[in-house]
Structure formats: C-alpha cells, structure tokens
Amino acid sequence: MWTRYSLERIAFLLQGLPLGLHRRPVLRHITYIQCLGWRSAWCSHNRETKPTACFNPCRTIKRDTKSSIDVPVYPVTVTDIKQYLRSKGISFHDGYSCLRAGSIFVEPKSQIQEEAGKDSYTMFIDKMTGQFLCKETLVEGTWEDLQDCLEVMQKEEQKSINPDVLLSYSESAEEQGQKDMELREVHRIWSSSVTVSDLLEEDLQLIKNIFQISKLNSITLKKFGVRYFKPTKSLVFPWFSGHDLSLRGIKLLSAVTKDKSQVIYTEASIPKLSNYYNLFGLHLVGRKETEMVLTGSEIDSMAVSQATGLPALALPRGVSCLPPVLLPYLEQFKKVTLWLGGDMRAWEASKMFSKKLGLKRCSLVRPGELHPCPNEALLQGRNLARIINASIPAAHKSIVSFKQLRDDVFGELSNVDQVAGIKWVRFPELNRILKGHRKGELTVFTGPTGSGKTTFISEYALDLSMQGVNTLWGSFEIKNVRLAKIILTQFAMQRLEENLEQYDYWADKFEELPLYFMTFHGQQNVKTVLDTMQHAVYLYDISHVIIDNLQFMMGQENLSVDKFAVQDNIIGTFRKFATNSSCHVTMIIHPRKEEDDKELQTASIFGTAKASQEADNVLILQEKKLVTCPGRRSLQVAKNRFDGDVGIFPLEFNKTSLTFSAPVRSKQKLRKVKGDQTENQETELNERNEKVLKSAKDSKTPKTLKEPLSEKSEIGRKGKSNNKEDG
Ligand SMILES: Nc1ncnc2c1ncn2[C@@H]1O[C@H](COP(=O)(O)OP(=O)(O)OP(=O)(O)O)[C@@H](O)[C@H]1O
C-alpha cells in the first residue's frame, strides 16, 4: 500500500487511470458511540421511546469508504421531511434539490437576519435522501442524524447545537493521520508549483500548446488559481474551501504527446478522486449570482468564464457523476446551463444531471459539430455566449411535434457510433453484433446451470466499468466477497492466490473502478431491490445494473399467485426502471429444463414469452459438451432490438484468469514461435489493459486518435434468424 503521496505516487496516479474512470464516493456516516445504546435504543428504531441511556454529547463522525449499497432503514420522501420539519416548528424554503432551513448548528440569528428569510438559511436538506449539510459549519449527516439532533434540541430546550461539542470530528487516529498527511502533501505540491505569472513567456506558450489551451489568457488562469508543477509537468487546479478559502485539495492534469498527433490526458488528485468533491471555480462565485454554466472539466470552465463572463463551475469527475453532496452548493442558481462536453456521452450525462438539479431551471447545450466542448469552441473562435443562449430547456413537454424532435433525430443520425453505445474492449465480437452497450435497455441473459453465466457477466460488466460505466451488482446467489474475487481475478488476469505480493497493486487499481454492490444475499423482495437501485442511481449515477438472478426475487412473492404471472410482473417492473432511469439492466434468468444435449433458444428462458418480449437484447451462453474441448462455450445474441443483427461467436474459457475474452489469435501464434508462455500471457495482459485504458481516455480526449476495434469475426453475421453455430 502507498503510505505517502510521494512523487512516485503522483506519477503512478497520473499514469494509472484514464480520465473518466471514477471513483468510489465516500459515504459520510454519523454514528453515536455504540456503547451508549443511544441509537439502537431510541433514535433509529422507535422515535417515540425515550433514550434508555444517558446522552453523552460526544459523537464519532465516521467517514467510511464504502462500495456496497444499503437502502436507508427508513426511506424518506420529501413529504415526510417537510411534515417532520413542520412538526418541529422549523420553517424552511422549498428549493430545487434541497430544502433550506436555518441551521441548528449556529446560534439563532438576530431579528434582522431572520427577516432576511431564506438568505440566512444555511442548512440544506436533500429532498431525495434527507442528507443534510450546514454550509456555515460544514457539519453533514444523514436524515436520521438530523432528526436525532432535533430531538435532543427539543428535549434539552436548546436553541442550537454546538457542532464542536456535539459533533466532534473524532476520526480514528489512522484516518486523521492519513488526512493530515494528504493535506501536507497538497500544500507541499502547491507551494512548489509555479503561478502562471512566474513562468517565462516561452514556457507558458509551450505549456498552453501542450494542454491545448492557447486561447486561455494568463488573467483567466491566474483568476482560477491555476499553477504548474514542473516535476510531473502538470497543471495544478486548486480546491479552495467555499467557507474560508483554505486549500482543501488539488487536481493535477498531465498531457503526454504520443506520436505527433495524439495527446493523452491523465489526471490525479489529492485527496484521491473518490474523495475529491471540488466544484472548480466555486470560490469565485458571488452569493448573489443566479446564473451559472456547469462544465465537465476545469479547462472548459475557464473557457466559458473568459469568453462570456458568466460564472462557470466544473464537476470534479466530469461526466461520470454528479455527487448529491454538491447539490447544496448549486441551490443558489435560478438558471443552470449544462455544457458538459461535445459528445453523446456528455449529452446523456447532462440529461441525467438536470433531473437531479431540477429540470425547470436547467437548459442543455446539445453537442454537435457547431457545439463542441467549451475549450474546443474557444479554440475554433466560436461565440460561446451564443451557444449558451441557444441551449434548450431540459424540461420537455408530454406531447411534441417532429419540429421539436428534429434536432434529436439529427443528433442520432450524425453520431451513429456514439449512439450505438459503449464498446467492449474484451469482446469485439459483441460490438460487431450488438454495436455497443446502451443506456435504458434491458438485456436478458440465460444459459445452462453452472455453465458460467455469472463468470461471463462479471467480465462483460467489468469491461464496461473499466471504461467509466457506473455499475451496480445485485448478486443474490453468490456473496459479494466471492464475486469481487472473481472480478478482481478477471481484472488482473491472473490467479492472485499465487501472487499475493501483487494483491495491493491490483486492489488499489480495482478500488478506483466505479463498481458498487448491493448488500443482499438470498431471496429478496422486488420493491426493496428497486428502491436500492433508485437510491444508487441518485447517489452514484449508476448506468448499469446486473441482477443475478431473477429467480431470487420470486420466492417472497405470494405463492398462491401464478409464478409465471409473478415473474412477468417483475420483468415489467425492471423494464420500466431501465427506461425511466436511463439505466441498462442486465438480468440473468435461468432456462427451463431442457434436454442436456439441446442448445437453448429464446423460448428456453424460464416463464412466459414476456422476458424476451420486454428485453431489448437476449444473450444465451451456449454450452456444447465436447469431450475434446469441455470448456468450450459460445455466446449467442438471439435478439437485438437496436438494429436487428444477431449471431453467435465462440468464447474460450481461461481457468487461470476466469476470463472468456477471445485471445488475440494472430499475435498468439507469433508469440508461440517465441515460445515463452508466461511472457505471452503478460504481454497479452498488458496489451489488453493498455487498450482498455486507451479506449477510456479516448472517450474523454477529443484530440486522441481513435483506434478502431477491427478484429473481424469468422462466425457472427447479419440476419434475424436464430442460427446457432459453434466455433
Ligand atoms: N467455460 C467454462 N469451463 C469450465 N468451467 C467454467 C466455465 N465457465 C465457468 N466455469 C466455472 O464453473 C463454475 C460455475 O460458474 P458460474 O457460477 O459462473 O456458473 P452459472 O451458470 O452462473 O451457475 P448457476 O447456474 O448456478 O447460476 C465456476 O467455478 C466457474 O469458474
């Protein structure tokens, strides 16, 4: 494990991850010290009962890094929150994503300030989750925590709660030590970085050329506090606290020119990106500003600010997510223009994020040739203010005419490749038939018992998450630890049991993938699973959910009802979820009992025809039991609603790495001549990983030349029939 942010560590981070791969958010939990029995005896379970233990005002604030997802014990609605606040006599203002109330963590304001109304309200309560933030003291916590505090206040007849007494930020010594060490490193890098005004003119020009920011002037760079860190040749973007302007973190952006025409950008941050909650530019925004442009990168924000004079903020993790903890900082704006980039991924993200921000105040810049990302637009000499003025309202009407749709249709026609979705790096054959992985679709996956369905889907989903697809696993059959072990093995492409010294290296990289797991095991109630999925979509912008498998949701339903009807109902619910949440759902369904030697068909999926009718894609893992080749499997695409192409291609199982991805044949033959098999595997692994990383970078870097995934299949083909062929 890395213990300090050395230069090597930064270099590792810079080269280790592509842009857009993000990043486990931190869940902040406030928990009472358990031994007091306070929470369990009173607050969480029965709010009517009095505490059984004497209240000790000391609390621990635990900042856990979690990648597993629980539904809150008491899911709240905005109506619940409002009713509760009213019952406590707390006045509030109904905002876009949050309710605003006077903070209970600061002394009540003077009469004059109270009369200032909502402007003096500094406590923000998320309407979806009840999570709160006091902007004045930076105290934050869950809805349960806020209720606990209010109960205490009422009981003790206090007018406010002193955060220093009640909320001691007593993290473990290790956590505190880690934070202090990070902060020292932030300051060390910051103070050894050079301000733009201290750079020689020719150096500055060179840097501007490398980062393709030649149109950004020194005034803008200085205004945003950008510096240059020579040892890693990186631009340094600061994260200033909106509270007291202290430096909380930094992001380093490096650009490496490969060949002559290819620039690859990498970024790293301290604290690491999963804990980096900076809205770049926030410290420059005045309290009275009501309009703002939200961008996907720091450079884009500066471009907008320079060209239009409008306040511009950059999301810390680009288009990959809008963490709800940032929403309170965006409440003040009556108009938000989302200009997240120049491609379809940015467009999809802006539609998703505008739902969180409140559709009515959002307008979106539609990407296209005339509307590239802001920095590109500046480079091309376009009028950025005009582009922003031409942005379209996010709230759409229930009935539209073609006139309103024509630009959307044009967008789809002119970006065929991007509309087709994200391409798999490990399964070029799947790209050839399915064209890509698209949001909002439902994929049904089946295969014989024990044939490797979970193993295959793990790799299929891993491939996508390595390209920045925020993924949520619902594994009801096998425990999360075992599942994570399988996925990690596939990620490292080797048996880590035999290379334990490499565990930390791979685990560190794996930790950065946007992968989350539901904490369910065994039979589950559909509603609970759906609530969790909704919750995860809101918190982590999940765009791919895997359900392994459907049968685990049927046990709890009323058994007197026809089980096929129950299954149909569940499928219908997931279909609706996929469409409404713009989230791809991959659902494993067991086949009905067939004769062993028969291949499966769409009709072999357990239940009625509902599953295949509702599904956009039907995938079948075909198993042919050959004595000569017992591990041989094929993947059949039996339905593809996107463009109708179906086909089948062989998969070769590698028991060491648990992967199905087809080996690169021509290269393998070449390596066989060389003879060293271990070397071959390593080279292959490196090549694949490089390809994955490159592809993710490509999706974020407009100037990167894209390498087509051109391996042609011998077997898959066009047509709507269900032909089954085997490699
Ligand atoms: N092609 C293969 N050849 C041999 N073994 C395989 C193959 N694919 C997977 N396995 C192994 O078979 C075992 C079962 O795999 P897995 O759990 O993925 O199957 P499944 O189809 O999901 O099972 P179930 O029907 O119980 O849900 C695992 O140990 C896995 O490593």
Render pLDDT for 112-135 as a digit per residue (tens, 0 to 9): 555 555 566 889 999 999 999 988
- The verdict on the CB of residue 452 being under 6 Å from ligand 1 is yes
Establish whether residue 622 lines the binding site of ligand 1, counting it when its CB lies within 6 angstroms of any ligand atom.
no
* The pLDDT value given to residue 567: 86
Say if CB 664 and CB 686 are below 8 A apart: no
Give how far Cα 494 sits from Cα of 481, 509, 657, 690, Å. Answer: 17, 15, 5, 16
pLDDT tens-digit profile of 623-656?
876 556 666 789 999 999 999 999 999 998 999 9
Q: What is the mean pLDDT of residues 95-100?
A: 94
Ligand 1 near 447 CB (within 6 A): yes
CATH entry, 180-414, from 3.40.1360.10, 3.40.50.300, 3.40.80.10, 1.25.40.340:
3.40.1360.10
**Highest mean pLDDT out of 107-111, 208-212, 607-611, 717-721:** 208-212
What CA–CA distance (Å, rounded) separates 533 from 524?
A: 13
CB of residue 652 inside a 6 A radius of ligand 1: no
pLDDT band, residue 611 (cuts 50/70/90) = confident
- Number of other residues whose CB lies within 10 A of the CB of residue 20: 23
- Nearest Cα residue to atom 12 of ligand 1: 452
pLDDT in tens, 569-608: 899 999 999 999 999 999 999 888 765 667 777 777 877 7
**Who wins on pLDDT, 143 or 252?**
252
Predicted confidence (pLDDT) at residue 222 exceeds the cutoff of 70 = yes
Question: Residue 254, Cβ neighbours under 10 Å: how many?
Answer: 21
The candidate with the shortest Cα–Cα distance to 267, out of 469, 542, 490, 468, is: 468
Least confident of 55-59, 416-420, 478-482, 619-623: 55-59
Higher pLDDT, 14 or 75: 75
Closest by CA to 305, choosing from 284, 276, 327, is: 284
How would you classify the pairing of strands 132-134 and 140-141? antiparallel
Q: How sure is the predictor about 27, in pLDDT bands with cuts at 50, 70 and 90?
A: very low
- State the Cα–Cα distance between residues 426 and 459, nearest whole angstrom: 8
Tokens of 452: 């490797």
Tell me if 364 sits within 8 A of 347, measured CB to CB. yes
Query: From CA 677, how far away is CA 419, in angstroms rounded?
Result: 40
Residue 678 to residues 74, 426, 552, 681, 698, Cα–Cα distance (Å): 53, 20, 41, 5, 30
- Ligand 1 pocket residue status of 632, Cβ below 6 Å: no
For residue 645 the two structure tokens come to: 């192409």
Task: Find the 632 Cα to ligand 1 centroid distance in Å.
Answer: 12
Band (pLDDT 50/70/90 cuts) for residue 678 is very low
Q: Which residues of the chain form CATH 3.40.50.300? A: 420-700
For residue 680, is pLDDT > 60? Answer: no
Task: State ipTM.
Answer: 0.96
Q: Which two tokens stand for residue 337?
A: 């223009």
Distance 523 CA to ligand 1 centre (A): 21
- Chain centroid to Cα 685, Å, comes to 25
C-alpha distances out from residue 213 to 375, 678, 680, Å: 7, 44, 41
Cβ of 193 closer than 6 Å to ligand 1, yes or no, is: no
Burial 524-558 (b: 16+ CB within 10 A, else e): bebeebbebbbbbbbbbbbbbbbbbbbbbbbeebe
Is the pLDDT confidence value at 557 over 90?
no
| CA–CA dist 382, 384 (Å, integer) | 6
Nearest to 372 by CA among 314, 421, 303, 318: 303
Nearest C-alpha to atom 11 of ligand 1 is from which residue? Answer: 452
pLDDT surpassing 70 at residue 24: no
Residues spanned by CATH 3.40.1360.10 within the chain?
Answer: 180-414
Q: Which of 31-45, 179-193, 196-210 has the lowest mean pLDDT?
A: 31-45
- At 362 the three-state DSSP class reads strand
420-700 CATH fold: Rossmann fold (3.40.50)
